[in-house]
Structure formats: C-alpha cells, structure tokens
Structure 1
Amino acid sequence: MRIDEALLNEAKAYAARNGRSLTSVMEDALRQLLNRSTEAARRPRVKLIVSDQPVGFQPDVQARLDAGEKLEHIAWDLDDAERMTGDVAR
C-alpha cells in the first residue's frame, strides 16, 4: 500500500498532537468514511421541484438589463423594495 507522503505526514502530526497512535487515527478515518457511505446510501432520495416557467429574469428586470443596468444595481433596488413593503415589487 502506498500513501501520499504529505497526507501521511499530516496524519502523523495529528496523531502526535492528540496523543494517539497513527494506526488509531487511520482506523477512525476509515470508519468515518465507511459510515458516511452507509448513511448516504440509507438517506431518502430528494425529488427536485421542476418549474415549467420560461428560463430568465422577470420581464421588468430583463427590461432594465436590456437598457444597460447592472444586475447588482437592480438587485439592490429590489432589496430596497422588500425592506419598504415586505415584498418584491413586480
């Protein structure tokens, strides 16, 4: 077995800092890796929501972009509207 020398040196330093053997550190790391794989396999799959709306910005935002405004300025204005009304002005 070959282990990347830099990784091995980090593991040795970690073991020394924590008063552990290199073997125990490597065993724990392998256990954690295997447990994560098992947990990930047991997790239910997430169904993503898909929109049938056209891709792009709201028409008013797109008009401002087409007029040469920068998106960050438009977003700042939208943030102001949200602060004033509690909703996005459309």
Structure 2
Amino acid sequence: MRTTIRLSDELYARVRAAAQERKSTVTSYIEQALQQALISSTDTTPAYRIDPIHGAGLQPGVDLDDSDRLSDLMDDRAGR
C-alpha cells in the first residue's frame, strides 16, 4: 500500500540518517519502527487528551479526518 505522511524537516532528517546507518531505506525504517511500536504497545490509554476550554465543538468546515483540508485551513488562518 502507498500512503503519504507529513514529517517535520528535523524528524525526516533524523529518520533518514538512522536509515542510512542501518543501510536501509527510509520506507523500510519507518515500516519497521511502526511494527515495533505496535508490538510493544500494550497501553490503550491515549497519549494525550484535548479538552475544549470553551465553544461548542469544531468550527464550520473543519473535518479532522481530512488532513489536507485541515492543513490548508490552518495555513489560511495563520496568514500563509
């Protein structure tokens, strides 16, 4: 399966360097890291929780399942 992920430049550089050290591809390195994380993960408690301070939920047009549109909305609101 093919998918797209968004990583910060700093994280990508670290992943790329680690993959090169292991004589591996970035794809293979990420795949192995995810498999290991799934194997070792026994805690089903979320790592964090977001509680709204005020308001009635998401703003109109915000769909948390559409990361591309969400990124565009954040960029628009930041004036980029």
Give the structure-2-normalised TM-score. Answer: 0.44
Give the TM-score taking structure 1 as reference length: 0.40
- Is the radius of gyration larger for structure 1 or structure 2? 1
